[in-house]
Amino acid sequence: MREEKFMREAIRLAQVKMRAGQGGPFGAVVVRRGEIIARGWNRVTSANDPTAHAEVMAIRAACRKLKTFQLAGCELYTSCEPCPMCLAAIYWARLEKVFYASSRRDAAKVGFDDELIYREVARPVSQRLIPMEQLLRADAGKIFAEWKDKPDKLVY
């Protein structure tokens, strides 16, 4: 089955790059028309970048390769169920389908627990653990008004 081939590559990347000390045990590949077009692995600790998750890295590589910011017609294979950040990136990239191996509960059992973030996203801003305060809304709103009327904007 071709899906298993792609998932095996995501799992292989997770293991190889983890053993090499490049980050946590996560790997991902982006596939288009039955071909792997990009690979990503967790680089959080090696790049000192909390956003360098395998899925995000694979999405970035695929977009660079295809010279686009949308991955319609592509699938993502990832060694673990995407965290909230990666899930958002998947939606922004417009991926067609996601396949994952381990669940978020499997990840939590070894110290990668995203439940706090899932809960925080669902809470009203005023009830989140990290205080958030709105400032200069009207000033920022002027930029949105300008964007709305910008004739040469690239909609995304």
67: phi then psi, degrees, rounded to nearest 5: 55, 50
Residues 104, 78 contacting (CB under 8 angstroms): no
- At 86 the pLDDT is 98
Give the pLDDT score at 155. 87
Predicted local confidence at residue 140, as pLDDT: 97
- Per-residue confidence (pLDDT) for residue 1, from 0 to 100: 81
- Give helix then strand counts, H and E, for the chain: 7, 4
Rounded to two decimals, what is the model's pTM? Answer: 0.93
Element (H, E) at 11: helix 2-19
List the catalytic residues. Answer: 55
What does each C-alpha distance from 47 to 10, 23, 28, 52, 115 come to in angstroms? 20, 9, 17, 7, 24
- Return per-residue pLDDT of the chain as tens, 156 residues: 899 999 999 999 999 999 999 999 999 999 999 999 999 999 999 999 999 999 999 999 999 999 999 999 999 999 999 999 999 999 999 999 999 999 999 999 999 989 999 999 999 999 999 999 999 999 999 999 999 999 999 888
What's the CA gap between 133 and 18, in Å, rounded?
Answer: 38
CA 35, CA 64: separation in Å to the nearest integer?
16
> Residue 133 has which token pair?
């305060």
Q: CA nearest 58: which of 26, 83, 34, 84?
A: 26
